[in-house]
Every structure is written in structure tokens, then in C-alpha cells.
Amino acid sequence: MARDGSLIVFEGVEGAGKTTQLVRLGARLAAAGVPSETYREPGGTPLGNEVRTLLLDPAREITPRAEALLFMASRAELIERCIRPALAAGRVVLLDRFTLSTYAYQVYGRGIDEREIRAANVTATGGVVPSLTFLLRASPDVAAERARLRGAPDRMEASGAAFHARVAAAFLQFEDASWQRAHPECGPILPVNADGAADEVEARVLQALAEALPSLGVRPGAAA
């Protein structure tokens, strides 16, 4: 494992299976004797959890810039209180959503100028860049069904079909190598086919992880 730890992020549209795969990878790391911590955005700290409640409350109306800054406030707190110390201690941090989601939801989805978001993100992250981001790519029907099975939509999920179409198009754009070169703050991005059973998706994630970060010692193979 890298001396300063590793930050591994899971990204994708609603219903892509991020949380499922994050939990599975955490179990794999534990089995391999690799110390890790898991967090989600927004959340992970007392302040972040309160922000999460505000942002996801379907009865609450929040303007786009206020929404973006609330996400950034939660991120800044999580970075300083949890992620930076864990990385300094040589631990692996698994994170459900990070900078890519901000670009997808607030820039492409809400229409905020990317320059404003990038500037705010510099303050929020303090220079922390993911070691690797798994961009889970699920077909629209698969993602919609998974999201439906989770229950009633939260405020972000209930933002409308046009909004989520813009978000999905953004995530597709993030796979482009030229976009990634222009956004080094996002770190390496690996698209992963997220269709199929959870075991199948996990096998793809493990294979990609073994190739990208072999020092972690997590071997690819069939799900346990």
C-alpha cells in the first residue's frame, strides 16, 4: 500500500450500484488485511450528516448555488476530520461520490459555471485527489430499476428526467481521456460495466483494482 494511503471513489448515476460495490470492496480489503475506512458524500461527520438531511429532504427547496455550497461544506469537513488523517496514517479510504458528482450534478445538471465549482472545490478538498475513481456505467433501464427498488426518491433523485439525463450525459463525457487530462483534480478514472449481478460487477471492479493499484494486494477473482 502506498505510504500515504489511497483514496478510492465510486461514482455513477442513481442506481449504478456504487454503495453495493463499495461495501463489497471494503470486505475484500478487510479479508486481505488492508486497513480501510468508508464514507459517503454528503455525510460522514456530524456536520455532514446534518447537511445530508437538508440536501436530500424532498420537501425542501434549495437554490442551485446554495445546494453546491452545502455539498462543498460537507466535503471540506469530511476531508479535514476523516479523509486526510486516514490517508496520512496509510489507510485506504473508500468514498461514495466525490468531485465527479459535483461536476455532473451541479455543473451539468444545475447549470452552474464550472469555473465557480472548480474554485470552490479547491477550497473544499485542500488538494486531496483520488488515487482511483471507479465510474460505474449502468444502462438506463438497469439503473432506473435499482433506484426504484430503493424506495421513495429523495430531493436529488426527484429532480426530474431532464436533469438526470444531463447528469448521465456528463458521466459519459467524464470517460473521455481529453476531459480527464483537463481535470487533473479528479485523478484517474476507470469506467466499469455495472450491468448484471452484483457478483459480476464486483469481479470487474476487482480486476480493474488489481491492475491499477497492485500494491494493495487485492486479487481479482470470483466473488466470495
* CA–CA gap between residue 125 and residue 118 (Å, rounded): 10
Please give the grid coordinates belonging to residue 152.
Answer: 421513495
* CA–CA gap between residue 43 and residue 143 (Å, rounded): 23
* CA–CA gap between residue 86 and residue 19 (Å, rounded): 20
User: DSSP state, 83?
Assistant: I
Across 103-175, where does the E strand assignment appear? 132-137
pLDDT tens for the chain, 224 residues long, are: 345 799 999 999 999 999 999 999 999 999 999 999 999 999 999 999 999 999 999 999 999 999 999 999 999 999 999 999 999 999 999 999 999 999 999 999 999 999 999 999 999 999 999 999 999 999 988 888 888 888 889 999 999 999 999 999 999 999 999 999 999 999 999 999 999 999 999 999 999 999 999 988 888 864 44
- What integer pLDDT is reported at residue 1 of this predicted model? 36
My answer on whether omega of the bond before 188 falls inside 30° of 0, hence cis, is no
* Nearest alpha-carbon partner for 134 in 3, 9, 2: 9
User: DSSP state, 184?
Assistant: G
Residues in the chain: 224
Centroid of chain to Cα 57: 20
* CA–CA gap between residue 50 and residue 171 (Å, rounded): 27
Please give the grid coordinates belonging to residue 158.
Answer: 426527484
* Nearest alpha-carbon partner for 116 in 61, 54, 48, 66: 66
Q: Where are the domains of the chain?
A: 6-216
* CA–CA gap between residue 220 and residue 222 (Å, rounded): 7
Q: Strands 132-137 and 92-96: what pairing?
A: unpaired
- What integer pLDDT is reported at residue 217 of this predicted model? 85
Please give the grid coordinates belonging to residue 180.
Answer: 480527464
Cβ–Cβ < 8 Å for 98, 133? yes
3-state secondary structure of 154: coil
* Nearest alpha-carbon partner for 135 in 183, 191, 196: 191
**Domain boundaries 6-216, CATH class:** alpha beta
Cβ–Cβ < 8 Å for 189, 207? no
